[in-house]
Amino acid sequence: MESLNVTKYFHDPVTIKILNDINFSLYESEFVSIIGKSGCGKSTLLYILSTMDTDYEGDIVIDGVSMKGKSEKILARVRNEKIGFVFQFHYLLNEFSVLKNVMLPGLKLGLYSEKEIEHRAYEKLKILGIENEAFKMPNQLSGGQKQRVAIARALINDPLLIMGDEPTGNLDKKNSEIVFDIFQELAQEFKQTLLIVTHDNEFAARTTRIIEMEDGQIIRM
């Protein structure tokens, strides 16, 4: 994955250059963290990289394919197939069971039969050690468990890349530790590529590569 000369402006209330000519590449099975002060544009960069934000200059290349000017439908497909998300807030759908929540992106992709996807979802939950909660509703789970379900959901389609926006930001020390361990395990054992935005320097220090940002520019990578 590459980011080429990405520049973004915020226009409201006045035009501000929030990202200035960002260039970097991310290679397979890297565990990268982006750190920086609040407002330095690290989340903004993440959303641009995630293809959800399309209002930018420059280009994003994911798996050798340029994302510039692609239709909303194709971008949705890319997110579905190649990117997994973990947000600060878990964003589970309360109408569905834990297992179903994990299955949703898989069902959307439709590569496997429903039975198979169910099996795979269960496996992912097992990796994260919450298989016993599979048939509960999300609101019956603790915060840490919910975040782990969200990670399982991010994993369901075996994405090329998992992106996290402050995934431990809402968790206490103990749960943060668990989530970090999971990420580390994914990186080391499953060779999963990870790109995590965080302001937790301790967390960042344990990743394989740190990208530090300030005022819309990368100052260390």
Partner 1 sequence: MRNKLIFQIAISLLLARWKQTLVAAIGVTFSITMFVTLLSFMTGLNDLLDGLILNRTAHVRLFKELSISKNQPADVYYKNTKGHNFIRSVKPKNERLDISNSGAIISTLQKDTRVLGVAPKITAQVFYNVGSIDLTGVINGIEPLEENRLFKFNDYVTAGNFLDLKNIPNSVILGKGLAEKMMVTIGDVVQVTTSKGERLSLKVVGFFQSGLQDIDKVQSYASIKTTQKLLGASANYITDIQVKLKDILGAPAAAKEFESFYEVDAIDIQTANSQFETGSSVRSLISYAVGITLLIVAGFGIYNILNMMIYEKMDSIAILKAVGFSGGDVNKIFISIALSIGLFGGAMGLLGGLGLSSLIDQIPFNTDSLPTVKTYPINYNPNFYIIGGIFSIITTYFAGYFPARKASSIDPVIIIRGK
> Cβ closer to partner 1: 148 or 153?
153
Six-digit token string for 65: 């394919």
Beta partners for residue 162, in sequence order: 84, 194
**Smaller CB distance to partner 1: residue 50 or 207?**
50
The minimum distance between CB 127 and partner 1, in angstroms, equals 19
Q: How far is the CB of 114 from partner 1 (least distance, A)?
A: 8
SS3 sequence, 9-21?
A: EECCCCCEEEEEE
Amino acid at 143: G
The pairing of strands 16-25 and 2-10 is: antiparallel
Cα angle 31, 29, 170 (rounded to 5 degrees) comes to 35
Give contact residues for partner 1 (rule: CB under 8 A).
Answer: 43, 47, 50, 52-53, 72-73, 76-77, 79-81, 85, 87-89, 91-96, 104-105, 107-110, 114, 153, 165
DSSP character for 4? E
Q: How far apart are the C-alpha atoms of 141 and 198, rounded to whole Å?
A: 24
CB of 85 to partner 1, least distance (A): 5
User: Which lies closer to partner 1 via its Cβ, residue 30 or residue 165?
Assistant: 165
Instruction: Tell me how far apart the alpha carbons of residues 49 and 209 are, in angstroms, rounded to a whole number.
Output: 17
Contacts of 202 (CB under 8 A, 6+ apart): none
CA dist., res. 51 & res. 200, Å (int): 25
Q: How far is the CB of 209 from partner 1 (least distance, A)?
A: 25
Minimum distance from CB of 84 to partner 1 (Å)? 8
In the chain, the N- to C-terminal Cα span, in Å, equals 15
- Residue 161 near residue 26 (C-beta atoms within 8 A): yes
* Nearest to partner 1 of 95, 189 (CB atom): 95
Minimum gap (Å) between residue 205 Cβ and partner 1: 26
Considering beta carbons, is residue 74 or 221 the nearer one to partner 1?
74
In the bound state with partner 1, the residue whose beta carbon lies nearer, of 114 and 172, is 114
